[in-house]
Amino acid sequence: MGIFSEIEEIEEQIAKISGVGNIGKVRQLEYSLQLFERNYGMLSKLLSHFIENKEKHSDLFNRINKWKTDLLFKEIAFRLHNFVASSLSLIDHSRIIYRKAFKEKDHYGVYQEKVNSDLKEDGLVQFIQKLRQMCQHYRLPHISAEWKMKNSELSLYIKTNDLLQFDGWNKRARSFIEKSGERIDLLEVVNQYFEKIKAFHTWTKREFSEIYGEEIMAVYTHTQKINEKKSDIIIEELESALKSEEGKIHYNIKFAISGALSSQEMQVLSKYEDNTKEWILKSLDLITNHIEIPKELIQRIRTECK
């Protein structure tokens, strides 16, 4: 049996592991989490930049720059829209995936109790979730600013009377708005919401890892077997690359190593894209995390790239 057939056989064994589908879906959930984190980063970075950049505060309120200020507030509103939209996407995706996964392990009650206490019963969380409904089905909220010249303190906020024009708030969200006084500090609620959701998903992933620990370990063991098979292929390709004709050696070494690296690792190495030798030398520190390469072979590659 060839190496590729052996790898295919191991992959079939992984597919038969109980709960492997749930493990795969939880891993895919990382895309929704990253989308949420990215939109949070884009919004909080913009807000923080203008709040902390005190030398620009006077320009923001100078009527000569009115058109720039209008563009800024539009950009904040657009990023707020994307933030709350990605928040709901994460909620919907995680609800479907975790509900099925925890039910199959008779652990759904524990999960739902956590959802109720950390999400459904939290006024701030409900406010952000319903703000998404306002942004997508009613209109974007008006962003306001206040600048205290004495200390050059800038705050960006949403007026509560503007928010209350929307009638889609649930009981807890409306209570949160009414208790906030005349306005809600935008950066503050965005940061608080992000930390609450981050904490919830940290708990959820830890809980999932505990109840699916045996299955996760089985997948890991089989994956290691696949990596061992792949290492034989990579080593063979590296040996062949070192024997390539002059002018193609470095490219062929890089091509061989690429087969063992993740997309994230390849992205890290992209800074050396214009220097193939440097790329190879840096990649050797990464490739050994995945496969075991003879020290003698590594030394030959290093010598070739000096």
Q: What is the DSSP string of 143-205?
A: EEEEEETTTTEEEEEEEHHHHTT-----HHHHHHHHHTTTEEEHHHHHHHHHHHHHHHHHHHH
The encoded tokens of residue 222 equal 């089989």
With contact defined as beta carbons under 8 Å apart, do 169 and 130 qualify? yes
Pick 217 or 68 by higher pLDDT: 217
With contact defined as beta carbons under 8 Å apart, do 252 and 304 qualify? no
The encoded tokens of residue 224 equal 């290691």
**Phi first, then psi: what are they for 158, rounded to 5°?**
-120, 130
Domain spans of the chain, in order of start: 20-211, 215-304
Say what the pTM is: 0.84
Long-range own/partner contacts, residues 258-261 (CB < 8 A, 24 or more apart)? 259/230, 259/233, 259/234, 260/230, 260/231, 260/234, 260/287, 260/290, 260/291, 261/286, 261/287, 261/290
With contact defined as beta carbons under 8 Å apart, do 173 and 126 qualify? yes
pLDDT digits (tens, 9 = 90+) for 207-244: 999 999 999 999 888 888 887 888 888 889 999 999 99
Q: Which of 262, 212, 177 is nearest to 24 (CA)?
A: 212
The encoded tokens of residue 175 equal 């209570």
Average pLDDT, the chain: 91
Q: Which of 7-11, 38-42, 223-227, 268-272 has the highest mean pLDDT?
A: 38-42
DSSP one-letter code for 153: E
Question: How many CA atoms lie within 13 Å of 170's alpha carbon, on the beta-carbon side?
Answer: 14
pLDDT digits (tens, 9 = 90+) for 168-192: 999 999 999 999 999 999 999 999 9
DSSP one-letter code for 62: -
